[in-house]
Structure 1
Amino acid sequence: MQYYLIQPKDPLIIRSGRPFEEITDAQAARFPPPSTVAGALRNIHARSTGKALNNKLLELAVTGPLALKLPINGDAPNEEHILVPKPADVQYFYDGGTAKTQLVRAKPMALAEGDGCDLPSGLLPLLTESVNVGKPVAGPNWWSFNDLVAWRKGEEVSFEQVVENGWTPAEPDIRTHIAINNQSRNAEAGKIFQTTGLTMWQQRADNQAFPEACISILAGIDGDITLPLLNLGGERRLAQVEPCTLWPTIPTDLVQAIKTAKGLTLTFLTPVLFNSGWLPSWLDEDTLTGMPPSCKSLQVKLRAAALARWVPQSGWDLEKKQPRAAQKMIPAGATYWFEIVGEPSDADIQSLWLAHLCDDAQNNRNGFGLALPAAYRFDL
């Protein structure tokens, strides 16, 4: 796998799988899904090597994308600059008593006697550790990779730390367009629309015009890229692409920590696609037990899950020249809690590190379902 840094030269327009409205909104600004980045990387790889644009390119595995915060002072980025989506088990609450925003953790907990829910049999509800903490508020949707690792270890992570190390995008780039008649060269009546672009800059807390840092895209592909520019997203907007060696490395204590805890979490750093909606097909629907596709003997039992509402995912088939069928995509940040059944091997646990765990092999090759494992002990 060879890793590349993609630096957009203009705000990115990423379609959300719905028709363009006449008037768009800020929520339409999206980070590119894995399939968009995969298509762009395979395209520039084919152009770099003289290959044909056909279905053989789909056999090239792509990993990512993640975001990367590049300091404007020119310093080389390192692992602490890698950004990942906010985990779904975190909520931001404003405490009026202390006038501070807190991170509130939700975790699997047993129900009290007499309580009940409609979750599948054996699945635990997620309850917050704190009660009466205040009012839910908005916060950064992108965290530092190191902050997420610390959060998964149970360490204290502050809201101020998340804001400083994470990414809050600047205001979206909204542009108004009109249709021009090719014959008269005049604007056609009623044909006006807007596009919303994702601005790849860090929003400044002091609202100054000049940004603090620019945001790039980090991804990998099993192939060489020699050309310096590629097209990414709608309107064929340009992005610079260059090789890099930066990618998260597996912690030396991860394997032993998971074996000692006899449980683990899987946090998906890219959106994930499962055939049965929220439940992976590698888990038995009745017992919720199974083996991740990257493992040979590791048996796990699903105990809880935290995920946001699905979002549509589609694309364009270059060979057939037609839209691909729409899919329901679980947003990145989804987290699943598993209890380990039996004694896992070190190799199986190591294989989970940043593995792609979708049901379909092609979705894995497209970069969906990039999973971050972490140790978790069930204290019920």
Structure 2
Amino acid sequence: MRLMQILRIQPLDPLMIRDGRPFDMTPGIKAHSLSDVSPSVLAGTIRTVLGKYSKDVNPIINGDRNIYRQLSSKKSKVVVRGPLYEKDGEIFYPVPQDVGFYHSTENKKLGVDIRRPVQLLEGEGFYGIGTNGLYENLLWLPMSKQVHKETSEAPAYMSATLMHQWLLDELSQEDWGRELKRWSEKQNGSHFIEKFPREERVHTAIDHTTYTAEDQKLFSTESIILPDGMSMLVAVDVSQSNIDWPRDLSLVHSLGGKRRLAHFSADNHETSAYWKCPESILNAVKEKTYIRMVLATPAYFSKGWLPGGFNEELVYENAWESGVNLRLLFACIPRWQPVSGWRYGEIPEDHSKENSAQKNEKTGREKPVRRLVPAGSVYFFEVTKGNAEDLVKLKWLASVSDENRRKSAFDHEDGFGLALWGVWEPSK
């Protein structure tokens, strides 16, 4: 039985979560931030925090830089699931891509497009995913009830209450319109949250020999600001690790770039229910033919946008070892999301010629940029064998990411590809 512990992270500063764009000593350069907190940033920080309480490794006492290599080993590789954003006792998920937002040309109100694929008739064709017509005879036709130009003035996150209704396919356009009106009028109890605002700061480089500002070396950094009262929840699997779980954990620790601070604390067991699938959804998917998967966090797939288990016929047998066979009918996916990072420790030998000074310092190097499927992406499936309930029980808010063959990233362990599941019916 897995032992899951819940951590609550409350940011105390704006968070700098850098994207993969270069950031060097060029005067006037700007460090850009992602739109939300990357799972790998939280996972790495949490392992460092837990490492301070380990029996074998205590970086506060011995100051050993080998802590980074030891924490990355299998012995202390804890599995992290998150983050989930919580505000006022409610979880908020990224808005799924099977709904679009637009401003009505008549009354300027915010409206929605509900997207559902429709099956092609015999003799019809669809252009597919690439210029070569890939999967043109397998994927269904994208269809929405309205055709409008999307607006950027739309919510980015929706409450778990509303998300569960959407996964049950119980929200009509009128329901969406009513909730969007409450949000646009800033009424209390709104089920939506806008994109996290960004803060930009200008800094000056410091001469480390004199500790004074260097002339003509200004640079700027960009950070995201979580709404007041919002915190992040993370579930940590400590059943297979050798780290003693700090029952009374409560400390301030850096998170993200520029050592911005956040408060880490052990949370109560009530929030553990957030990681369990609601009974209403389990009952809805039972023996259901059509189900859909919504990504709550970005996912890595070995075939780019397509999970690695699907064959050339877009069929996944024994999907995610659940005993269920799936056929992919369509997917709503925005532009790929770049995720990078920094690797601490000694530079590998094959990189020694790139920067010998950096190798001597043994400070590490940047990780390669990877293309992930963004959170909110939606996959439409047909169940061809088995009971969908078995799959949903196994993979509700669990990772569906593929294994990285190079093991330069640990997407399963870091919380990438957490999935939500629901039902749908083909459009007629």
CA 1:49–1:183: 2 relative to 1, 3 Å? closer
Structure-1 residue corresponding to 2:301: 274
Matched letter for residue 422 of structure 2: A
- Same amino acid, percent of matched pairs: 26
Unmatched 5+ residue regions in structure 1? Answer: 71-76, 202-212
Q: Is the 8 A contact 1:268 1:333 kept in 2?
A: yes
Structure-2 residue corresponding to 1:73: none
Structure 2 residue 127 is matched with structure 1 residue 117: yes
Residue 115 of structure 1: CA displacement?
Answer: 5.9
CA 1:139–1:49: 2 relative to 1, 3 Å? same
The one of 217, 231, 242 equivalent to 2:254 is 231
Structure-2 residue corresponding to 1:39: 44
CA 1:100–1:257: 2 relative to 1, 3 Å? same
Structure-2 residue corresponding to 1:60: 78
Residue 292 of structure 1: CA displacement?
Answer: 2.6
Matched letter for residue 378 of structure 2: T
Matched letter for residue 2 of structure 1: Q
Structure 2 residue 216 is matched with structure 1 residue 190: yes
Q: Distance in 2 between matches of 1:170 and 1:108?
A: 31
CA 1:349–1:31: 2 relative to 1, 3 Å? closer
Query: Over residues 176-200 of structure 1, what are the superposed CA-to-partner deviations in whole Å (9 max), with x where a residue is unaligned?
Result: 0111334565533331110011111
Structure-2 residue corresponding to 1:94: 103
Matched letter for residue 380 of structure 2: W
Q: Distance in 2 between matches of 1:310 and 1:184?
A: 44
Q: Distance in 1 between matches of 2:92 and 2:34?
A: 17
Residue 87 of structure 1: CA displacement?
Answer: 0.8
SS of 1:38's equivalent in the other structure is: helix
SS of 2:193's equivalent in the other structure is: coil
Q: Is the 8 A contact 1:96 1:134 kept in 2?
A: no
Q: Distance in 1 between matches of 2:141 and 2:76?
A: 39
SS of 2:53's equivalent in the other structure is: helix
Residue 85 of structure 1: CA displacement?
Answer: 0.9
Structure 2 residue 324 is matched with structure 1 residue 298: yes
Q: Is the 8 A contact 2:101 2:154 kept in 1?
A: yes
Q: Distance in 1 between matches of 2:56 and 2:117?
A: 50
Structure 1 window deviating more from structure 2 (83-92 vs 255-264): it is 255-264
Q: Is the 8 A contact 2:285 2:389 kept in 1?
A: no
Q: Is the 8 A contact 2:36 2:196 kept in 1?
A: no
Matched letter for residue 150 of structure 1: Q
CA 1:136–1:337: 2 relative to 1, 3 Å? same
Matched letter for residue 127 of structure 1: M
- Counting only pairs closer than 5 Å after superposition, residues 1-380 of structure 1 correspond to structure 2 as 1-20=4-23, 22=28, 24=30, 28-52=33-57, 53=67, 54=70, 55-56=72-73, 59-70=77-88, 77=89, 81-111=90-120, 116-119=126-129, 120=135, 121-131=137-147, 136-154=151-169, 155=171, 156-158=175-177, 159-161=180-182, 164-169=190-195, 171-183=197-209, 186-201=212-227, 213-223=228-238, 224-225=245-246, 226-244=249-267, 245=269, 246=271, 247-295=274-322, 297-320=323-346, 321-344=364-387, 346-360=389-403, 362-379=410-427
CA 1:349–1:14: 2 relative to 1, 3 Å? closer
Structure 1 window deviating more from structure 2 (268-277 vs 149-158): it is 149-158
Q: Is the 8 A contact 1:143 1:162 kept in 2?
A: no
CA 1:287–1:268: 2 relative to 1, 3 Å? closer
Q: Distance in 1 between matches of 2:392 and 2:35?
A: 33
CA 1:39–1:135: 2 relative to 1, 3 Å? closer
Q: Is the 8 A contact 2:324 2:390 kept in 1?
A: no
SS of 1:323's equivalent in the other structure is: strand
Unmatched 5+ residue regions in structure 2? Answer: 58-66, 130-134, 185-189, 239-244, 347-363, 405-409
Query: Over residues 240-292 of structure 1, what are the superposed CA-to-partner deviations in whole Å (9 max), with x where a residue is unaligned?
Result: 11222312432213233223431111100000001110011111133433333
Query: CA RMSD of the aligned region, Å?
Result: 2.5
Q: Is the 8 A contact 1:44 1:227 kept in 2?
A: no
Q: Is the 8 A contact 2:250 2:263 kept in 1?
A: no
Query: Over residues 344-367 of structure 1, what are the superposed CA-to-partner deviations in whole Å (9 max), with x where a residue is unaligned?
Result: 274333112112101117311110
Q: Distance in 1 between matches of 2:154 and 2:39?
A: 24
Q: Is the 8 A contact 1:314 1:325 kept in 2?
A: yes
* Length-normalised TM-score, structure 2: 0.76
Q: Distance in 1 between matches of 2:139 and 2:202?
A: 48
Q: Is the 8 A contact 2:39 2:297 kept in 1?
A: yes
Q: Distance in 1 between matches of 2:386 and 2:313?
A: 22
